[in-house]
């Protein structure tokens, strides 16, 4: 049997981002926390933490943390049938795309958070990367664009999010005075969420443009919209998040009629306890548009 106080120390150090703060939370000295992690590494025969560039679990440490989280979820179900056991709220680690977390997500899960005392540990990832996190055992569930579940997991189709190529009216007039064209695409600075974000590339391919284009990188969903509204660039933005700015004339489409739809799937481990089951039932009722 594993010594769970060692795993608890590892989880706390990772969550707090340091030994000193973890010690404060655990009511231990920094050196006592450090000793627990050493004991874990001796037991395992390899390191569980890397310190540079940021404090983070090694792949082996991450497997331990996933296991620790799964045991916690199972204990939570146990406490449901043995209510006299002490019941700290569980924290569920979920990979979610940035555009969901700033639009439909909060309203959809508010009731269940309150009813179940659920605490969220959200990890923001592009639609295409979240599933890798689930496969790596880093999260208990994820929202992503891929329909196929991985082995041991299930997927649930939630619907589609619709994206339009938007810019400020001033920017549109400056860079696309005659609408979209290869020449305009080659020169107009776009905005891209991050290296994994392919929406802009897909949009340009849909318009028949396959060349290079200048772009800003902005891995903040709301920041992306602020850059566009300030006339710094144009980019693919979700309808759910921008309809008010379109209605008020602060953003316009640079290619009216052109849009991209991104499907969203909820992926979760088959044996992840009743909490994930209830969350899944709730998400099955969500309407994205």
Tell me the sheet residues that pair with 95: 123, 142
By DSSP bridging, strand 190-192 and strand 215-217 are parallel
Is 137 a residue that touches a second copy (CB under 8 A)? no
Residues 177-206 interacting with a second copy (rule: CB under 8 A): 189, 195-196
Residues 48-67 interacting with a second copy (rule: CB under 8 A): 52-54, 59
**Minimum distance from residue 1 beta carbon to a second copy (Å):** 27
CA 53: distance to chain centroid?
21
**Minimum distance from residue 197 beta carbon to a second copy (Å):** 9
**Minimum distance from residue 96 beta carbon to a second copy (Å):** 8
**Applying CB under 8 A, which part among 15-23, 147-155, 177-185, 264-272 lies near a second copy?**
15-23
Is 20 a residue that touches a second copy (CB under 8 A)? no
Is 173 a residue that touches a second copy (CB under 8 A)? no
**Minimum distance from residue 3 beta carbon to a second copy (Å):** 22
Helices of type H across the chain:
4-16, 19-26, 30-44, 59-81, 98-101, 105-116, 130-135, 169-175, 182-187, 199-206, 221-229, 239-247, 273-283
**Minimum distance from residue 97 beta carbon to a second copy (Å):** 10
According to DSSP, residue 90 is labeled: P
**Minimum distance from residue 114 beta carbon to a second copy (Å):** 7
Phi-psi region at 33: left, alpha or beta (left = phi > 0; alpha = psi -120 to 50) = alpha
Is 150 a residue that touches a second copy (CB under 8 A)? no
**Minimum distance from residue 113 beta carbon to a second copy (Å):** 5
Q: Which of 16, 39, 44, 240 binds a second copy (CB under 8 A)?
A: 16
Q: Which of 45, 86, 212, 249 binds a second copy (CB under 8 A)?
A: 212
Tell me the sheet residues that pair with 166: 235, 253
Instruction: Please tell me the number of Cα atoms within 13 Å of 189 on its side-chain side.
Output: 14
Q: Which of 272, 222, 210 lies closest to 102 in space, CA to CA?
A: 222
* Residue corresponding to tokens 């689930």: 134
CB 202 within 8 Å of CB 260: yes
Is 25 a residue that touches a second copy (CB under 8 A)? yes
Binding residues for a second copy, rule: CB under 8 A, are 14-17, 25, 52-54, 59, 88-89, 91, 98, 101-103, 105-107, 109-110, 113-114, 117, 119-124, 129, 132, 136, 138, 189, 195-196, 212, 214-223, 226-227, 229-232
């Amino acid at each position: 049997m594993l010594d769970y106080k060692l795993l608890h120390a590892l989880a706390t150090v990772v969550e707090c981002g340091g030994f000193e703060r973890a010690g404060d939370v655990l009511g231990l000295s920094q050196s006592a926390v450090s000793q627990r992690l050493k004991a874990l590494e001796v037991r395992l025969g390899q390191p569980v933490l890397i310190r540079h560039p940021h404090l983070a679990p090694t792949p082996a440490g991450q497997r331990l943390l996933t296991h620790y989280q799964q045991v916690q979820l199972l204990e939570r179900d146990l406490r449901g049938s043995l209510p006299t056991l002490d019941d700290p709220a569980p924290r569920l680690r979920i990979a979610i795309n940035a555009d969901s977390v700033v639009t439909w997500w909060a309203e959809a899960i508010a009731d269940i958070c309150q009813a179940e005392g659920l605490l969220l540990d959200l990890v923001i990832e592009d639609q295409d990367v979240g599933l890798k996190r689930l496969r790596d055992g880093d999260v208990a569930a994820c929202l992503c664009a891929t329909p196929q579940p991985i082995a041991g997991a299930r997927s649930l189709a939630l619907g589609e999010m619709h994206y339009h190529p938007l810019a400020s009216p001033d920017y549109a007039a400056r860079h696309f005075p005659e609408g979209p064209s290869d020449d305009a695409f080659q020169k107009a600075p776009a905005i891209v969420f991050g290296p994994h974000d392919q929406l802009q590339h897909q949009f340009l391919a849909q318009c028949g443009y396959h060349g290079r284009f200048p772009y800003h990188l902005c891995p903040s969903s709301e920041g992306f919209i602020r850059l566009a509204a300030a006339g710094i660039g144009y980019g693919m933005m979700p309808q759910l998040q921008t309809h008010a700015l379109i209605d008020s004339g602060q953003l316009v489409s640079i290619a009216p009629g052109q849009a991209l739809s991104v499907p969203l799937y909820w992926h979760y481990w088959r044996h992840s306890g009743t909490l994930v089951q209830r969350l899944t039932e709730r998400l099955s009722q969500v309407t994205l548009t």
